[in-house]
Amino acid sequence: MDLGTVAKWYDLTGRTIVITGGAGILGGEMACALVGCKADVAILDRDPSLAERLIDRVESEPGRCIIVYGDALEPETLVAAEEQIRTDLGPVDMLINAAGGNKPDATTSADLSFFDLPEEALRFVVDLNLLGTILPCQVFGRAMAERGEGVIVNISSMNAFTPLTRIPAYSAAKAAVSNFTQWLAVHMAQEYSPNIRVNALAPGFFLTEQNRYLLTDEEGEEPTDRGRTIIEHTPMGRFGGAEDLLGTLLWLLSPASSFVTGVVVPVDGGFSAFSGV
């Protein structure tokens, strides 16, 4: 195989990619990278204004980018978004489910025990991460099933393998995302086409707006005790940055992974490999 063929694998010209939660830290970085690979990207978010910070970055890139309103938990908004994206960019070829997160009310602390976590907060976190992955797959995956081709990448978490302290709903929901990823990979390949692949990324400790309050001080400069413990147990000695997901993401989207489906790929700086000794 020549190098020209390998280079073409990562040329996404003519590919339409939807990113749910695309205005977030991780989703936004993915959008910019994919537009740079000549893809046509739809940033889908329930707060499109958050994506305005990305406009200057994507305007100079070779691909196209649009910002579309859509709530991962409201199917009717997803259907409307799919129609708009199909009109503006063409049929959706790839879906990245980056919508998700945790919230303080669903997190145990010295002031809030597990037994007192509000049901509403627990339901919100489970729904956001699990249903917020399943529902977009139903809406955007339908056309893939009809065409017999497509790629879906979900965002799981390393705490789907081993749950972290303090965040029971988030840990359980991400474990469910990993399980659903495997289920959907088999379902799509057997019922529709082996050319539809479904995989997931499992980030380790990445700083986002949802977890910053747990990992850094109020100024966001120094790690908390929890943050220091994480860094000490990460062989690479740091938190992950959004750009650290891009190489694995591009591989999963590209023909380079054409025989890969139903896997959850860790991106964790070695955290899961370290015994602590």
Q: What is the pLDDT of residues 82-116, one digit of tens each?
A: 999 999 999 999 999 999 999 999 999 999 999 99
- The catalytic position among 69, 170, 192, 213 is 170
Tell which residue, 95, 99, 92, 91, has the closest CA to residue 151: 95
pLDDT at 3: 63
For residue 166, the tally of other CB atoms under 10 A from its CB is 16
Q: Kindly list the structural domains of the chain, giving each domain's residue range(s) and its CATH number in brackets, ordered by start.
A: 3-204+240-266 (3.40.50.720), 211-238 (no CATH)
Are 48 and 68 in contact by the 8 Å Cβ rule? The answer is yes
pLDDT at 224: 84
Are 22 and 35 in contact by the 8 Å Cβ rule? The answer is no
pTM of the model as a whole: 0.94
Return the residue matching tokens 């978004």.
81
Tell which residue, 34, 40, 43, has the closest CA to residue 93: 40
Total residue count of the chain as it appears in this document: 277
pLDDT at 210: 63
> Per-residue confidence at 165, pLDDT binned at 50, 70, 90?
very high
170 is catalytic: yes
pLDDT at 227: 85
Q: What is the pLDDT of residues 39-94, one digit of tens each?
A: 999 999 999 999 999 999 998 889 999 999 999 999 999 999 999 999 999 999 99
Residue 1 predicted with pLDDT over 90: no
pLDDT at 209: 67
